[in-house]
């Protein structure tokens, strides 16, 4: 049997050639990395949770007319996606100060920001994904000004949607990262959401307790990452409430 062709392997996912032209299969690994892969571990079950959570979010975005690369989930770890030409930027949207903005600007973690703030980072592991400005993006031709305007509009729509989605289940969306890609409809280019949206790429805090339900649990050694991600999945209604409890065995019927 012919083996499918691997197209790309990243830190947390693998892309394979898809069943039809213009598609890929995106496989979610259990690998967790932080600080540009200085810290790494394999966390059993993380890939399965992120596949489900990202499916849930991406299909909801598709449903409200925010275009994404997601087509459908195939199995526990894989989803069918549209091939896009990835724009080499990590687009971060922040609602509340945390992480690198707190360090860089001396703003206490948890301080609400006056408005959503968008930042761009150039996707290059060797350089440690440096922050860049619109000037860099246009000058080095990673995207033109129209693309940047489209990316900002897309990121803000995702922010509005995700903020409401998580608020409804008692979670504060502190910040998140998306990646975007180009697709072509004949001569027309569209920019759509790509990659994944999961607790790996968001900061999610329980509204009541402040408990962290995202990858900071791994970055900062705060406990079980899969417990945190399962909690997010449960609240979103995509895991049964008792999914992590051991099942009882078969019962004898008299
Ligand atoms: P930061 O505070 O470390 O800059 O992260 C901002 C948001 O972006 C946070 O939700 C985590 C996410 N993020 C990624 O998804 N990938 C990355 O490589 C980094 C550095 C952050």
pLDDT of residue 253: 77
Which CATH number applies to 6-84+225-235: 3.90.1150.10, 3.30.200.20, 3.30.450.20, 3.30.420.40? 3.30.200.20
23 CB within 6 A, ligand 1: no
Render pLDDT for 188-234 as a digit per residue (tens, 0 to 9).
999 999 999 999 999 999 999 999 999 999 999 999 999 999 999 99
Tell me, what's the pLDDT at 239? 87
Determine the atom of ligand 1 nearest the C-alpha atom of 98: 2
Q: Does domain 85-206 have CATH number 3.40.50.10860?
A: no
Residue 99 beta carbon below 6 angstroms from any ligand 1 atom: yes
Give the 3-state DSSP-derived string for 224-253, with helices as H, strands as E and coil as C.
CHHHHHHHHHHHCCCCCCCCCCCCCCCCCC
Is the CB of residue 148 less than 8 Å from the CB of residue 140?
no
Q: Rounded to the nearest whole angstrom, what is the distance from the C-alpha of residue 20 to the centroid of ligand 1?
A: 33
Q: Is the CB of 212 under 6 A from ligand 1?
A: no
Residue 33, ligand 1, Cβ within 6 A: no
**Structure confidence by residue, pLDDT tens digits, 78-103:** 999 999 999 999 999 999 999 999 99
At residue 206, the 3 state secondary structure works out as: strand
Q: What are the structural domain ranges in the chain? A: 6-84+225-235, 85-206
Residues of the chain with pLDDT under 50: 244-245
Q: Are the CB atoms for 180 and 87 separated by under 8 Å? A: yes
Residue nearest to atom 13 of ligand 1 (CA): 201
For atom 14 of ligand 1, the residue with the nearest CA is 201
pLDDT for the residue numbered 46: 98
* Atom number of ligand 1 nearest to Cα 214: 10
CA 109 – ligand 1 centroid, Å: 14
CA distance 117 to 119: 7
**pLDDT computed for residue 102 by the predictor:** 98
How far, in Å, CA of 212 to CA of 131, rounded?
A: 25
Tell if the pTM clears 0.85, that is, is over it. Answer: yes
CA distances from 24 to 10, 67, 182 (A): 14, 17, 15
Contact yes or no for 69/193 (Cβ under 8 A): yes
Residue 247, pLDDT score = 55
φ and ψ of 69, to 5 deg: -80, -5
Model pLDDT, residue 122: 98
């Amino acid at each position: 049997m012919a083996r499918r062709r691997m197209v790309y392997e990243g830190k947390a996912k693998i892309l394979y050639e898809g069943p039809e032209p213009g598609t890929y299969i995106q496989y979610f690994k259990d690998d967790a990395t932080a600080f540009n892969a200085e810290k790494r571990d394999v966390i059993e079950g993380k890939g399965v949770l992120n596949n489900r959570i990202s499916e849930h979010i991406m299909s909801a975005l598709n449903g409200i007319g925010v275009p994404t690369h997601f087509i459908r989930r195939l199995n526990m770890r894989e989803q069918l996606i549209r091939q896009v030409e990835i724009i080499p930027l990590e687009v971060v949207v922040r609602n509340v100060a945390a992480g690198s903005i707190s360090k860089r600007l001396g703003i206490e973690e948890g301080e609400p920001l006056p408005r959503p703030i968008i930042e761009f980072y150039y996707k290059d592991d060797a350089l440690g994904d440096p922050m860049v400005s619109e000037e860099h993006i246009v000058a080095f031709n990673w995207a033109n000004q129209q693309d940047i305007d489209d990316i900002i509009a897309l990121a803000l729509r995702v922010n509005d949607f995700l903020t409401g989605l998580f608020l409804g289940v008692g979670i504060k969306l502190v910040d998140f990262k998306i990646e975007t890609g180009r697709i072509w409809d004949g001569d027309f280019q569209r920019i759509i959401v790509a990659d994944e949206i999961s607790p790996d790429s968001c900061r999610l805090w329980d509204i009541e307790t402040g408990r962290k339900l995202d990858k900071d649990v791994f970055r900062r050694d705060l406990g079980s990452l899969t417990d945190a991600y399962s909690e997010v999945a449960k609240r979103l209604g995509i895991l049964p409430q008792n999914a992590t409890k051991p099942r009882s065995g078969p019962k004898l019927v008299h």
